[in-house]
Structure 1
Amino acid sequence: MLNPGIRSIEARRLNGDAPPIDERDDVVVEEPLEIRIAGETIAVTMRTPGHDRELVLGFLLAEGVIASAMDVMTVTYCGRIGDEARENTIDVKLAPGVKPPLDPETGLLTRRGTLTTSACGVCGRRSIDDLVENIRPLAPTDLGTERSTLAGAVRTLRDRQRIFGRTGGCHAASLVDFDGRVVATFEDIGRHNAVDKVLGSRVLAGEVPSSNRVLVVSGRSSFEIVQKAFSAGIPVVASVSAPSSLAIDLAKRANMTLVGFVREEAMTIYTGADRIVDGP
């Protein structure tokens, strides 16, 4: 079965003094996805095709447009069947009473910048302050996860990255429960898109907020990764690499647990160490 996130192309491989080898190589697909609400464009993101519905719902959840699947009537591709552009445009019809984000000055639909790239999802926002001004810390809990559970979730994330295994060119995000059971895993050329796909899957499953869950991401933890996790009520974020200073500040303000450099039994807990039950 063909994977829409992978494309085979002709390439020439060079290796030291060995003769060049012309062969086919698998690469990750990157294409634009235009997200519309009632026909009006709210954002364009560069993403890896596949699970677009989850991506859009996760994006709208993180943006505060929706709180659950009940806030959405339809999520449909636009255009004629067979038209290439149709697969890259999705229109969302919100449920009655759910208001789209409007600019208070113009009364028009607020666009989330002009382009959200595969490298950054917060581009075009007027300021970071409007993202955090309404942050209400997550409620304290006596539940936690073991250090070995975090290590295992990060270690096995690579095994669930089928696109990365063939291309080496995309990120992954995985949601696991506090006992280490894998709830959902998605890949995308954009780390923030992979997270949106995870969130959107929980919207469809009726599991928002997703308390007692850990969001595991490949690479680093940026401000936006933490913000997206917070929007879904996910209390713990763990990453293979480092968090940013702003990600740490947000996690602290939101009473979240942020863990970086998770490698085997070694890790660094930046905030919320009380949720790591056998942590330092």
Structure 2
Amino acid sequence: MSRVTARRRTLRITADGQVRRPDTLAVEEPLELRVDGEALTVTMRTPGNDVDLAHGFLLSENIIGSAQDIVSARYCAGADRCAPGASNMRTHLGFPETPSESTAGQNTYNVLDIELRTPTPISTRNVLTTSACGLCGRTSLDEVRTRSRYPLPTPGPAVDPAVLTTLPDELRTRQKVFASTGGLHAAGLFTPEGEVVAVREDVGRHNAVDKVIGWALRENRIPAHDLILIVSGRASFELVQKAVMAGIPMLGAVSAPSSLAVDLALETGLTLVGFLRGDTMNIYSAPERLTAVPLTAHAD
């Protein structure tokens, strides 16, 4: 299996001078996802929990609705197409062939093939999903609202704001790779009482979310009507979309949301919390799921 960290030499400059030393970095490698042998997409991710990532991605794309929709998930060796006629999207997108990939039978763990229980026609997405992906419009808002298999519960779980403020720190203490690299996003699922359910890290914030949602799917916890999703960075449209598709009623982010993320949260009824730092937060939608929130002032 590929490593999640790598060592590279660096020149460190401080007020006291400079020194050459090795630095620990988060690994970023392309993962090609195939469905029934056909290339679907390539995402840049940190290796690890790839099967969870695939489950979460396929759920958010409405290709599957439960773990039972998947028969198997297996890595393809370098010269193994996994199924007749499968294409190598990584080559099409310009990724260089590594020595291990040119060696017949050697597994690179960078190509994962998913076999569906019921074959589903899928248009190949010849796009590279980067660690900063996401560009959507009004049609995407409408599509997410209408295609989600798991409408959000009303009103859903009640969460004490005092509990919510503790969750970013709980998430950070479980970011093992971030502690050594400083270069990964994290996503965590929590109960309304603040209990940690699952935490995943990745160079892409969307991948980290796919990994925890995929874990929940494989544990038969989707729809996750009783869980809270916390992310270490900003709340983009795609993260709100993934939460809605998984039936998660509340998303909290340490940083700001985008305007489109707020629009989607308002349309779907998801509770979106941004700037969740210390004992403060901004609530952008569905505040009724937070208990005892006093209104001390009003400003437009």
Q: Structure 1 residue 110 and structure 2 residue 123: aligned?
A: yes
Q: Which residue of 2 aligns with 1:134?
A: 146
Q: Is the 8 A contact 2:141 2:264 kept in 1?
A: no
Alignment correspondent of 2:8: 9
Q: How many residues align?
A: 268
Runs ≥4 in structure 1, deviation > 2 angstroms?
Answer: 80-86, 122-133
- The match for 1:68 is 66
Equivalent residue, structure 2, for 1:163: 177
Is residue 56 from structure 1 mapped to residue 54 from structure 2 by the alignment?
yes
The TM-score with structure 1 as length reference comes to 0.89
Q: Spell out, residue by residue over 1:116-161, the C-alpha distance to the aligned partner (whole angstroms, 9 max, x if none).
A: 00111x3699952563351565231353111011111112221111
- Structure 1, gaps ≥5 residues long: 103-108
Q: Match for residue 44 of structure 1?
A: 42
Letter in 2 for 1:271: S
Say if 2:156 and 2:249, in contact at 8 Å, map to a contact too. Answer: no
Distance in 1 (alpha carbons) for counterparts of 2:138 and 2:46: 26
Question: Residue 153 of structure 2 contacts residue 249 of structure 2 at CA under 8 Å; is this kept in 1?
Answer: no
Residue correspondence of structure 1 range 191-210 to structure 2 within 5 A: 191-210=205-224
Counterpart amino acid of residue 111 in structure 2: T
Q: Which residue of the partner structure matches residue 211 of structure 1?
A: 225
Distance in 1 (CA, whole Å) between partners of 2:125 and 2:135 is 8
1:229 to 233, 238, 243: 243
- One-letter amino acid of the structure 1 residue matched with residue 110 of structure 2: N
Identity %: 43
Amino acid at match of 2:130: T
- Specify the code of the residue in structure 1 equivalent to 2:144: V
Distance 2:2 2:170 in 1: 22
**Distance (Å, rounded) in 2 between the aligned partners of 1:112 and 1:153:** 36
Answer whether contact 2:156 2:226 (CA < 8 A) is retained. Answer: no
Alignment CA distance shift 1:273-1:123 (3 Å): closer
* TM-score, with length taken from structure 2: 0.84
Gaps of 5+ in 2: 81-99, 295-300
Q: Trace 1:184-195 onto structure 2 (pairs within 5 A).
A: 184-195=198-209
| 2:146 counterpart letter in structure 1 | N
> What's the offset of the Cα at 1:4?
1.8
CA offsets per residue over residues 245-277 of structure 1, 9 Å max, x none? 111111111111000011122111000100001
Residue in structure 2 matching 1:88, options 94, 110, 118: 110
- Give the alignment's Cα RMSD to 1 decimal: 2.2
Distance (Å, rounded) in 2 between the aligned partners of 1:126 and 1:252: 13
Distance 1:203 1:24 in 2: 39
Q: Which residue of 1 aligns with 2:86?
A: none
